[in-house]
Amino acid sequence: MKINLSQLQLGQTAIIEEFDIDRVPLKLLEMGCLPGNEVKLLQKAPLGDPLYLIINDSHLAIRLETANAIQVEVSDK
């Protein structure tokens, strides 16, 4: 099931499928936010923005609007 990264539940793991290159900062791409990589949602800020994630062993905090531009496939892990 494909969803936006922003729709992941806490502790849920997914694989990055695709994203809008114009809305995802280059810095995220350099840190491993690329199609085929695994992402896990660790925490959400109290108001839901930003999201705290692990992407290929890198801990990242990203904005909700950026997470909305990234499509993921939820895994069964």
Give the CA count within 13 Å in the CB-facing half-sphere of 47. Answer: 3
Structure confidence at residue 4 (pLDDT) = 92
Structure confidence at residue 77 (pLDDT) = 57
SS3 60: strand
pLDDT: is 73 or 19 the higher one?
73
pLDDT digits 0-9 by tens, 1-51? 889 989 999 999 999 998 888 888 888 887 878 888 999 999 999 888 899
Structure confidence at residue 58 (pLDDT) = 86
What does DSSP say about strands 2-4 and 13-19: parallel, antiparallel, or unpaired?
A: unpaired
How far is the C-alpha of 31 from the C-alpha of 51, rounded, in Å?
15
Structure confidence at residue 28 (pLDDT) = 82
Q: What are phi and psi of 10, to 5 degrees?
A: -55, 130
**Rounded to 5°, angle at Cα 52 from 49 and 55:** 135
